[in-house]
């Protein structure tokens, strides 16, 4: 065997040992709190990726969309055909908010449904899409949200998406991913695309 090949093999062996040791150390089995945050594209698509994964294994998943609904959202079209329940803000919050009272009320309605989900052990995965904005705009009480998530059934996983996630939510998260934007087509005048951006 060449020296290079031998070196490569030794390196791979070392990596394998490290990974095996970590796999052996991971003994805790419970649901997670995942936060997908940052300014780049991929947070909601990532969250929905987790929903399809769970549904594909036959688990029950639900989705809350903390943005104004009503437009044709590809994920909703598909996943509602597979028994995924959605709670979407019927009125209120868009990106350019105009009526705080209406927004707050709409957020609260969706949140009431979420609170029920967060006590239901038959639900394997709860996606709280764009929840972070409800906390930064102070539409929902952060302590109440943190408590409901922290008290959820042991086997239930929660995925939170949105920019600038509140510190208190990050503190109880198991996995935090920050999607960094290196470039976005929008900055070069390219329109948002059906099936790609929604």
Binding stretches for Mg ion (CB under 5 A)? 43-44
Residue of 171, 100, 102, 165 lying closest to 136 (CA atoms): 165
Residue that the structure tokens 């044709």 belong to: 72
From the list ligand ATP, Mg ion, none, partner contacted by residue 91 (C-beta under 5 to 8 A by kind): none
40 binds ligand ATP (CB under 6 A): yes
Which stretch, 15-23, 40-48, 52-60, 150-158, contacts ligand ATP (CB under 6 A)?
A: 40-48
State which H helix or E strand residue 4 sits in.
helix 3-25
CA atoms of 89 and 50, how far apart (whole Å): 21
Residues 6+ apart with CB under 8 A from 187: none
Q: Which of 44, 65, 156, 157 binds ligand ATP (CB under 6 A)?
A: 44
Cβ contact 44:115 at 8 Å? no
CA atoms of 6 and 118, how far apart (whole Å): 52
Backbone φ and ψ of 66, nearest 5°: -90, 50
41 binds ligand ATP (CB under 6 A): yes
Provide the minimum distance between the beta carbon of 179 and ligand ATP in the complex, in angstroms, as a whole number. 6
Radius of gyration of the chain (CA): 20
Provide the minimum distance between the beta carbon of 44 and ligand ATP in the complex, in angstroms, as a whole number. 3
For Mg ion, the closer CB: 121 or 198: 198
For Mg ion, the closer CB: 123 or 128: 128
184 binds ligand ATP (CB under 6 A): yes
Interactions with ligand ATP, residue window 47-76 (CB under 6 A) = none
Residues making contact with ligand ATP (CB under 6 A): 39-45, 130, 161, 179, 181, 184, 186, 192, 197-198
């Amino acid at each position: 065997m060449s020296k290079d090949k031998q070196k490569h093999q030794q390196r791979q062996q070392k990596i394998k040992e490290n990974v095996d040791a970590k796999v052996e150390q991971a003994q805790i089995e419970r649901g997670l709190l995942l936060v997908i945050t940052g300014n780049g594209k991929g947070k909601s698509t990532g969250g929905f990726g987790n929903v399809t994964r769970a549904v594909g294994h036959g688990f029950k998943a639900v989705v809350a969309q903390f943005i104004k609904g009503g437009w044709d959202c590809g994920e909703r079209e598909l996943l509602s055909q597979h028994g995924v329940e959605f709670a979407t803000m019927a009125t209120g919050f868009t990106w350019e908010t105009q009526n705080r009272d209406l927004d707050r009320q709409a957020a609260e309605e969706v949140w009431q449904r979420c609170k029920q989900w967060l006590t239901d052990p038959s639900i394997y995965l709860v996606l709280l899409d764009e929840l972070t904005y409800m906390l930064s705009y102070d539409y929902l009480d952060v302590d109440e949200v943190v408590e409901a998530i922290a008290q959820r059934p042991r086997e239930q996983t929660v995925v939170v998406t949105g920019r600038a996630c509140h510190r208190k939510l990050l503190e109880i998260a198991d996995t935090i991913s920050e999607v960094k934007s290196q470039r976005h087509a929008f900055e070069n005048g390219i329109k948002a695309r059906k099936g790609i951006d929604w």
